[in-house]
Amino acid sequence: MRISVIGCGYLGAVHAACMAELGHDVVGVDVDERKVAELSAGRAPFFEPGLPEVLERATASGRLRFTTDMSEAAGAQVHFVAVGTPQTAGSHAADMTYVDAAVTALLPHLADGDLVVGKSTVPVGTAARLAERVRASSSGADLAWNPEFLREGFAVKDTVSPDRFVYGVPAGAGGERATALLDEVYATALATGTPRLVMDYATAELVKVSANAFLATKISFINAMAEIAEATGADVTQLADAIGHDARIGRKFLNAGLGFGGGCLPKDIRAFQARADELGLESLAFLADVDAVNLRRRAKVVDLTVELVGEVEGARVAVLGVAFKPDSDDVRDSPALDVARALHDRGASVRVHDPEANETARRVAPELDYVADVDSALRDADVVLVLTEWKQFRQLDPAHVAELVAELRIVDARAVLDLGAWRAAGFEARGLGRP
Ligand SMILES: NC(=O)c1ccc[n+]([C@@H]2O[C@H](COP(=O)([O-])OP(=O)(O)OC[C@H]3O[C@@H](n4cnc5c(N)ncnc54)[C@H](O)[C@@H]3O)[C@@H](O)[C@H]2O)c1
């Protein structure tokens, strides 16, 4: 099938490449010339495991191309809209400028029978509003909403074989047609038994934001327990293990630490709250607390660091990790980068190493000192902070680190180190919610 993907960022580039890998004929459209040039050359414009290989194969197959020219979307039957919906400056609401602009630019190129498929995460009500615009255009096209659940770091796998597909479709024959088209797009995964849930627009939109709200709440729940553990001498990791054995609770997403970040969870829970406010509902007021607990963890790591070094002005801080999570170079709303910047602002000399995110971080926080390897970050440090749980940081050897640093002090903000082993090696070692 001929497919267009409008917006080729973390979601869209992966989606376009994977759809071509599945045998479709795909054109990716983006307004960012640099990104389109990279993708056209078969290079991934960001770090995502497995994406370079898929891009290379798909580009070589001749089934994938990228352009800045929206008119090249003409001729595709299905048009995925995957542009950004960031937080609006000065408000918690989602900024819909990009989605609206993308749909406006696409409308003149639609033909009878085309299906516009929203993938971006949007406030409930968006699909119904955009469907009216699509149907009012002279094309005879229709619209579906097919929210995306991929996790950065696992984006290729999650796109090719997701946990489930959600289709938000119009009632009646239009819905049946939309469902049939999406089934054709996702035929490979559906053939392996991937669940597919068909529902109305509003429910599909809400599935996405409620899933993110639930995940954020689970993380902040365990981080709230970490705060209690810190005040009482309890160990939140043992607590998580023990309550996680209850199948109704589950152990996943119960790792206490520096909290969530990235281009989705923080802005999505804020936008969801803002939408509930618009609807006159207090139902999501608790998400303000979820957000507050999450942000307090960043402040706590700054406080722990200050406590360890005494005088923060001039202290040499080794920051290991600035990506919001491992296996990604994404630093959008990164808790790690926030902590690094806060310490820099308080006068510390911050040296950062991230295996993949040095360059993305440098673009938004050029004031920090980025180094190419772990040892350079550690050398002569007064304190070491593990802020992103990259595998190479989990495997740090206390004896090796001790040879490089000026002072034996470490903060494990991601609960990935054996604090006992570090203490045995002479370190003053601190974690979150752990004695
Ligand atoms: N990144 C994720 O893990 C993820 C997962 C699920 C859902 N989402 C949602 O997907 C959407 C995209 O997220 P992302 O992380 O890929 O964002 P992103 O910022 O990486 O990518 C958005 C892309 O859209 C392009 N764009 C903006 N306006 C355009 C226009 N008018 N025409 C064509 N291209 C345009 C931008 O240049 C950019 O490349 C968001 O709504 C996000 O919440 C993201």
Question: Tens digits of per-residue pLDDT, 130-147?
Answer: 999 999 987 889 999 999
Measured by CA distance, the residue closest to atom 41 of ligand 1 is 120
Give distance in angstroms: CA of 361 to centre of ligand 1.
18
Ligand 1 centre and the CA of 36: distance in Å?
Answer: 14
User: Is the Cβ–Cβ distance between 12 and 5 less than 8 Å?
Assistant: yes
Separation of CA 98 and ligand 1 centre (Å): 9
Q: Which amino acid is at 121?
A: T
Mean pLDDT over 265-292 rounds to: 98
Residue nearest to atom 32 of ligand 1 (CA): 102
Task: Give mean pLDDT, residues 59-73.
Answer: 96
Kindly report, residue by residue over 121-132, the tens digit of the pLDDT.
Answer: 999 999 999 999
d(CA 28, CA 25): 10
Q: What are the residues facing 316 on neighbouring strands?
A: 349
Q: 134 and 106 in contact (C-beta within 8 Å)?
A: no
The number of the ligand 1 atom at minimal distance from the alpha carbon of 94 is 41
> What integer best gives the mean pLDDT of the chain?
97
- The two tokens of residue 176 are 């049946």
Q: Does the pLDDT at position 229 exceed 80?
A: yes
Among 264, 275, 324, the mutation site with the greatest number of ligand 1 atoms within 8 A of its Cβ is 264
Per-residue pLDDT, 139: 80
Pocket lined around ligand 1, Cβ cut-off 6 Å? 6-12, 29-32, 35, 82-85, 98, 101-102, 105, 120-121, 148, 150, 152, 263-264
> What is the residue-wise DSSP string for 86-121?
PBPTTSSSB--HHHHHHHHHHGGG--TT-EEEE-S-
pLDDT tens-digit readout, 25-58: 999 999 999 999 999 999 999 999 999 999 999 9
- Statement: residue 23 has pLDDT above 90: yes
The number of the ligand 1 atom at minimal distance from the alpha carbon of 119 is 10
Pocket test for ligand 1, best of 30, 36, 116 (most atoms within 8 A of CB): 30
Give residue 6 CA to ligand 1 midpoint distance, Å. 9
110's tokens: 């639609």
Nearest CA to ligand 1 atom 20: 9
DSSP state letter for 283: T
What pTM was computed for the model? Answer: 0.96
Domains and CATH numbers, the chain: 2-199 (3.40.50.720), 201-435 (3.40.50.720)
Q: Ligand 1: which residue has its CA nearest to atom 17? A: 84
| Number of neighbouring beta carbons within 10 Å of residue 33 | 9
Alpha carbons 401 and 393: distance in angstroms, whole number = 11
Write the CA distances from 277 to 1, 265, 396, integer angstroms.
41, 18, 46
Question: What is the C-alpha to C-alpha distance for residues 388 and 335, in angstroms, rounded to an integer?
Answer: 9
390-431, pLDDT tens digit by residue?
Answer: 999 999 999 999 999 999 999 999 999 999 999 999 999 999
**Ligand 1 centroid, distance to 81 Cα (angstroms):** 9
Pocket test for ligand 1, best of 4, 6, 8, 11 (most atoms within 8 A of CB): 11
Tokens 């673009």, residue? 363
pLDDT digit string (tens) for 156-204? 999 999 999 999 999 999 999 999 999 999 999 999 999 999 999 999 9
d(CA 319, CA 252): 26
Active site residues: 264
pLDDT of residue 138: 75
pLDDT 10s digits, 364-380 = 999 999 999 999 999 99
pLDDT value, residue 327 = 96
- CA 278–ligand 1 middle distance (angstroms): 24
The ligand 1 atom nearest the CA atom of 83: 24
Q: Which of 4-13, 137-146, 340-349 has the lowest mean pLDDT?
A: 137-146
Residue 407 buriedness (CB in 10 A; 0-12 / 13-18 / 19+): middle
